[in-house]
Amino acid sequence: MVKIWLFGSVSIACGEGGAMAVAGRCGSLLAYLALGHRRYFSRGELIASLWPERDASASAGSFNTALWRLRRMIEQPPLKHGDLIVCDRRGAISLDGPVDLWLDVEEFARLITPGLTRPPELMSDADIDGLRRGVALYQSDILLDLADDWALREREKHRRHYLNALGRLMQLATIRREYADGIRHAQAILDSDALREDVHRELMQLFVLNGQRAHALRQFERCRELLRRELAIQPMRETLALYQRIADGAIGAASSTEMGVGFAEPAYATSMTLPLPVLSQSQAHLLIEAARRSLASADTQLQLSLQFLDS
């Protein structure tokens, strides 16, 4: 069996041997063929995608050299010529040889597709396990060494699927009241896309549901600072209002042993009654102090932002 990895840098392993990095034009050619596994590409199509900046004669020469080098590199014993890279009668090229081929991007798609195409209530344990395994397989964005337009498009497409898989896992964790898992998935999304304000809001709510109101308040501060620094904007009305309700709920906890949170449950969990955390008196006092400190620094900005949004 031949294994090809595209997550991170392009690499290949043949048989029992270790993985070998494939860089430069050979790496580009192997990655392009791998992404179109079993599809046949004409030489003109490959040249236009991989070497569009060069004149026709130079591009043809570069392509032929890259193809020869790639064959020489990977078609080593026990593989023979044509076991992996094949040409049809018209000269079109494909990764469609008789050898068994495993691709990490194909395995990723196979694992996450059932969990993304079925509604949560119809998902099986196998679907959920597939999402988890697919997310674990995604160690980094694909084709990190390539900056061509086609590589950037593929990178963004796979990254979007990865974030969607994490979002579905976060959704399922909330429905199942597995809040710590939901927090972990939300943080993984923000590690890849820190400016997702909707995920910051979900994470704030998950912190509260997990009995971590102070973390929820700090998450708002992180969100606000990121938006200010990266985009020079203030949080959305929904985020500001959520922060205010969480802070008000923390302050009000001192007069009650049981406390409710005045924020809406995520849209996908509205059909469920989720238990809200009960804090001890000492915990409540600690949260009150944290909330007061956060409010002292944020209250003026909050009121200005709300006035601006209302104008």
Q: SS3 for 45? A: helix
What strand order describes the sheet that includes 2-5? 20-21, 11-14, 2-5, 101-103
211 Ramachandran zone, left/alpha/beta (phi>0; psi -120 to 50): left
pLDDT tens per residue across span 137-185: 999 999 999 999 999 999 999 999 999 999 999 999 999 999 999 999 9
Note whether residue 291 is domain-resident. yes
Is residue 124 in a domain? Answer: no
User: Which structural domain range is residue 289 located in?
Assistant: 195-311
Domain count of the chain?
Answer: 2
Which pTM was predicted? 0.78
Last residue of a domain, one of 58, 87, 103: 103
Express each pLDDT in 39-55 by its tens digit.
999 999 999 888 876 66
Backbone region of residue 117 per phi and psi (left: phi > 0; alpha: psi in -120 to 50; beta: other values)? alpha
| Domain-ending residue, one of 51, 68, 103 | 103
Which CATH number fits the domain that encloses residue 48? 1.10.10.10
